[in-house]
């Protein structure tokens, strides 16, 4: 994207009607298949060729495209591709090395109670993106951060909602209490995805779903792909719960820093409302997730505890990779996007 076009843009305007550019043979194969017309027996994809690098730009974009068929859909594509057996087999061949890498790099997982308690402790010498933006970040870096996070926050808790029919009893009730807040607690204008879109407009960004996809790199896509991977597979419902718990347990302190950072960098009321909303809401959600969802689910289905622990570890891993990508670029004055915004370094 060469320029922002947010002037006068309605934050509720839905999606960009354009597909992204391919980043290699995997994403090119998916794009070529779904844009060639409706599914037919003659249109199939063979298994991905060559050694897989599940963290690569090509691999993560290919996964993202497959997953979007289950979410907002892809522009100019037949909805029937969502359940095409050949494309599902290709997606599974992308998911396997991603899961293998997650399990290998996450290493031995901690017991769930220990892992969640550790997440509650804020390190004295925190060095993540929210700390950086608060202490020394520049406005162009804050705008880049919102572009990265738009891949997730413009859909907010949608990937976690596949969990609803997969947990029952008290755990399901607590999960729905958290989700109710995420979607505005009965007030559509307070839905968190809309608050994020309003924040983007306040900082001169385009709030349309998918507008910045070509600029969002693999580490940010991996964060969103992990949520969808866990949410789509019933066999990974424990991991999905663990990931959702990490999101809610760690959100409140980081949100406070980000609200303060954006205010320091000139954001108006709409530019901080999303994160201010999360300071209090996620303090409540943390208790609901730890005790009402995780605790009750383990009490009902103890066999899911190792999967919940894996979900926690995997969420931390992709978050750490994303943070490292941002700070590696920002600390030397380089854009963390695939192409910079107009006010970013060339």
How much is the pLDDT for 285? Answer: 83
pLDDT cut 90: percent of the chain above it: 78
pTM for this prediction: 0.93
- What is the CB-side half-sphere exposure of residue 235 using CA atoms within 13 A? 2
Q: Is the pLDDT higher at 44 or at 338?
A: 338
Indicate whether 1 pLDDT > 50.
Answer: no
Adjacent-strand bridge partners of 209: 15
Percent of the chain whose pLDDT exceeds 70: 95
**Alpha carbons 59 and 28: distance in angstroms, whole number:** 10
pLDDT band at 7 (very low <50, low <70, confident <90, very high): very low
Q: Which alpha helices (H) appear in 53-191, and where do they start and end?
A: 57-68, 85-106, 112-119, 129-135, 139-153, 170-182
Q: In whole angstroms, what is the distance from residue 87 CA to residue 93 CA?
A: 10
Q: List helix spans (H) across the chain.
A: 25-34, 57-68, 85-106, 112-119, 129-135, 139-153, 170-182, 192-202, 218-232, 237-264, 269-287, 296-300, 305-330
Average pLDDT, the chain: 91
pLDDT at 12 (0 to 100): 54
State the greatest distance between any 2 C-alpha atoms of the chain, in Å, as a whole number.
59
186 φ, ψ (degrees, to nearest 5): 90, 0
Q: List pLDDT tens digits, range 221-273.
A: 999 999 999 999 999 999 999 999 999 888 889 999 999 999 999 999 999 99
- As a whole number of Å, the end-to-end CA separation of the chain is 13
Cα–Cα distances (Å) from 135 to 27, 262, 263, in that order, read: 38, 11, 12
Dist. CA 223–CA 117, nearest whole Å: 22
Q: How far apart are CA 9 and CA 221, in angstroms?
A: 25
Domains in the chain with CATH codes: 25-105 (no CATH), 111-330 (1.20.910.10)
């Amino acid at each position: 994207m060469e320029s922002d076009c947010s002037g006068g843009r309605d934050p509720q305007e839905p999606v960009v009607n354009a597909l992204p550019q391919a980043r290699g043979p995997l994403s090119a194969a998916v794009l070529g298949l779904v844009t060639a017309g409706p599914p037919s027996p003659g249109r199939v994809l063979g298994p991905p060729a060559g050694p897989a690098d599940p963290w690569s730009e090509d691999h993560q974009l290919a996964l993202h495209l497959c997953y979007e068929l289950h979410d907002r859909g892809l522009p100019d594509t037949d909805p029937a591709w969502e359940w095409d057996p050949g494309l599902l087999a290709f997606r599974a061949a992308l998911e396997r090395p991603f899961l293998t890498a997650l399990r290998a790099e996450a290493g031995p997982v901690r017991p769930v109670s220990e892992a969640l308690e550790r997440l509650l402790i804020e390190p004295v010498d925190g060095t993540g993106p929210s700390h950086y933006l608060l202490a020394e970040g520049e406005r162009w870096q804050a705008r880049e951060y919102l572009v990265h996070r738009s891949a997730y926050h413009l859909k907010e808790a949608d990937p976690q909602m596949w969990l609803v029919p997969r947990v029952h009893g008290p755990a399901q009730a607590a999960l729905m209490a958290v989700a109710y807040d995420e979607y505005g607690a009965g007030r559509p204008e307070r839905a968190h995805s809309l608050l994020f879109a309003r924040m983007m407009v306040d900082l001169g960004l385009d709030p349309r779903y998918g507008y910045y996809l070509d600029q969002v790199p693999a580490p940010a896509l991996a964060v969103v792909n992990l949520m969808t991977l866990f949410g789509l597979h019933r066999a990974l419902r424990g991991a999905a719960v663990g990931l959702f718990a990490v999101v809610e347990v760690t959100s409140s302190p980081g949100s406070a820093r980000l609200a303060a950072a954006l205010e320091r960098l000139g954001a108006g009321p709409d530019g901080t409302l999303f994160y201010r909303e999360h300071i209090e809401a996620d303090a409540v959600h943390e208790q609901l997730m730890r005790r009402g969802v995780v605790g009750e689910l383990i009490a009902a289905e103890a066999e899911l505890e190792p999967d919940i622990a894996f979900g926690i570890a995997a969420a931390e891993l992709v978050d750490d990779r994303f943070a490292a990508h941002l700070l590696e670029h920002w600390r030397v004055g380089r854009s963390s996007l695939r192409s910079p915004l107009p006010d970013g370094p060339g």
